[in-house]
A and B are shown apart, each in its own frame.
Chain A
Amino acid sequence: MGKTLRIALAVAGKDLRVELRSRTAFVSAVTLAALILLIFNFARDTAVVSREALVPSVLWVTLAFVGVTVLNRSFTMERENGALDGLLLAPVSRSAVFLGKYLANLAFVVVVELVTVLLVVLFFGADLRGTLGALLATVFLASAGFVAVGTVFAAMTARTRFAELMLPLLLLPFLVPPVIAGVQVTTRLLAGRPVSEIAGWLQILGLYDVVFFTLCLLVFPSLMDE
């Protein structure tokens, strides 16, 4: 158990070091988020629709698309020089490799999401007094599950020709429950509703995370055999 965690942290550390070294992925992801928000702003009739009313929808749509885009890079770095073989040849369990990839992806996605939330607050004038913490917690809770699914799918689609299309095609259906829950929670938080109203949705998110993380952990090893 300790060994698995140690290996996972080594893999995650390597992933993050590669990201930090090149930095292009992070900058591109954040720029993408900003651009999507820009388009959303112009994609409304300003007389009819206020900025604030759109916040929940805009936030979660942006998170969904940026999240999917970010996950793609996870296994492209392994394919470049056949580095994945290096991971698979090592005397470590496949689950440890998955855990490491997952942790790195989660960290990366979470940071990009944090910036996205702040951009939404800035561009759409959301009033998050007192609820910013709760909103961020919800966003992270929603990410934990879909990042697991995304890690597995990214490993698969990295080998296909149109990975940039295949990954969203496969992954977006899995975003439906987190997005529905996320928007419901965000709307209520912005309206200052009591916690009791959102507890149910948070439980759904938590259940989703636990179920899919476990499933992905179990399924990943069979993917890696040739």
Chain B
Amino acid sequence: MSTLAASAAQRTIRRGLVITGLGLAAMAGVYVLALCFTPIERFQGLPQKIFYVHVPAAWSALLAFSLVGIASALYLWLRDPRLDWFAESCAEAGLVFSLVMLTTGPLWGKPIWGTYWTWDARLTFTLLLFFLFLGYRALRGAMHDPGDRARYSAVVGIMGLVLVPFVHLTVYLFNTLHPKPIVLKPDSPSLPWEMLRTLLVSLAGFTVLLFGYVTTHYGLARRAQEQGEEGGHGD
């Protein structure tokens, strides 16, 4: 009985790794696409190409965060441990993606604006998401009983998700009062087709990567659970 379940976890891991592989392949494709098949932006030059990683990473981080929030709410209602594994996996993925976004930001900012960091809305917002992911992780690390850990991090997940619109609103208002150089110029609709195409492919690649990462992590959590044999949640 447990070998059957264990192989289910194995299959999940394998599936996850395959999807991650696909995602990475897509990213490699984006790399080629961005460098060879996409025109160089007139004002910003070559460094602008970081945009194809920077923006989708931010969106993926936000997607991951929303999934954590939703899974957390469902967990508190249904108390299914799988929802907790899912939330944890999304939080890990989100942490990585927000870190990618926060490192590509300075790499892009320095050559173009002469400064490593600007407090523009998107960077600030993702930085906050990063801290929320970090806090989520830190809390989980400090709790030893799986049931308590799941419950407590679910609460943080839900609160974090509800916080997001408020942060978005206040930071946006804060920035409109103190205009910053517009780092992410490509928000404007006048994005030529080739750039849009590369951006969308990159976004697809990141989403696949997110899906793959979450699946793999979920499979690993499940396997760890089963190897712990009677591990479970006190509720």
User: Which residues does A use to contact B, with CB under 8 Å?
Assistant: 149, 152-153, 156-157, 159-162, 166, 169-170, 172-174, 176-177, 180-181, 184, 204, 207-208, 211-212, 215-216, 219, 222-223, 225-226
Contact = CB atoms under 8 A, between A and B. Distances in A.
Interface stretch (B1-9, B132-140, B188-196, B218-226): B132-140
A75 to B, nearest CB: 13
Contacts of A225: 151, 235
A161 B131 CA distance: 20
B174 A180 contact: yes
B36 interface: no
A126 B169 CA distance: 29
Given A180-B174, A204-B169, A226-B234, A173 B163 contact: yes
B162 A169 contact: no
Contacts of B80: none
B167 A170 contact: no
Contacts of A169: 131, 134-135, 138
Contacts of A207: 166
A173 B148 contact: no
A176 B170 contact: yes
A170 B156 contact: yes
Contacts of A219: 76, 155, 158-159
Given A204-B166, A219-B155, A226 B147 contact: yes
A126 B9 CA distance: 63
A153 B128 CA distance: 18
B147 to A, nearest CB: 7
